Chains A and B, each alone.
Chain A
Amino acid sequence: DAKTTQPPSMDCAEGRAANLPCNHSTISGNEYVYWYRQIHSQGPQYIIHGLKNNETNEMASLIITEDRKSSTLILPHATLRDTAVYYCIVRGPAGGTSYGKLTFGQGTILTVHP
């Protein structure tokens, strides 16, 4: 799976959009971009994933550049409860009896302040 690079930390004001970048310049054509977050002392939580199109769900939006070498996770209206470590992960598809490793990098510590 391709490696990812994220800034170690970011700050965001409550109510503003939080834009978390991720570089994955060695991504292959069939590899997906996943985002997870981990709030202190809890298990990681799935946020969103995408292949090449932009994606949106109730939690966030994922913008993937046309060359797929980078992506941005957008939390449109950050709250204090969004303070967490955010992990960007690139991995290939899995199917049938196969499985895929989910390998975590160092992630970005997002701090949302009042």
Chain B
Amino acid sequence: DTEVTQTPKHLVMGMTNKKSLKCEQHMGHRAMYWYKQKAKKPPELMFVYSYEKLSINESVPSRFSPECPNSSLLNLHLHALQPEDSALYLCASSPTGVHNYGYTFGSGTRLTVV
């Protein structure tokens, strides 16, 4: 299995809702990432998990709450979002412990906040 699977593919939520995005990989990668991508802009890093521990939080607002319950799963919990949080949310994974490697990205969850 060489894929990163993200669910759901599309999500519409109200500003008072609580929802979660899910990301799964079975490549044995021990680093996992959340990126946010607005229309016509490059992806922006949000969070990095390394060996199931949060390593980087790029000053992301607390209404986004990441969770890594095990080495294969990464969740992003959403609460009280704003319309400007509407974007494509991308998950990625990569090996660690080597000097050069590529990230594998999922196809993303397209989130619309109404």
The interface of chain A, by Cβ under 8 A from chain B, is: 32, 34, 36, 38, 41-46, 49, 51, 85, 87, 93-99, 101-107
Contacts and interface: CB of A to CB of B under 8 A. Distances in A.
Contacts of B45: 101-103
Contacts of A107: 42
Given A99-B31, A106-B42, A43 B55 contact: no
- How many chain B residues sit at the interface, stated as a range, is 20 to 34
A104 B42 contact: yes
Nearest to B6: A43
A43 B107 CA distance: 4
B112 interface: no
Contacts of B94: 99
A94 B101 CA distance: 9
Contact of A95 (B33, B56, B99, B110): B99
27 contacts: A32-B100, A38-B43, A41-B88, A41-B108, A43-B90, A43-B92, A43-B105, A43-B107, A46-B102, A46-B103, A49-B102, A93-B99, A93-B100, A94-B98, A95-B97, A96-B96, A96-B97, A97-B50, A98-B50, A99-B50, A99-B56, A101-B48, A102-B92, A103-B45, A104-B44, A105-B42, A107-B42
Query: Which of B42, B45, B55 gathers most chain A CB within 10 Å?
Result: B42
Contacts of B90: 43-44
Contacts of A45: 105
Given A87-B42, A101-B45, A44 B105 contact: yes
Contact of B108 (A43, A93, A103, A104): A43
Query: Which of A45, A46, A103 gathers most chain B CB within 10 Å?
Result: A46
Contacts of A102: 33, 45, 92, 103
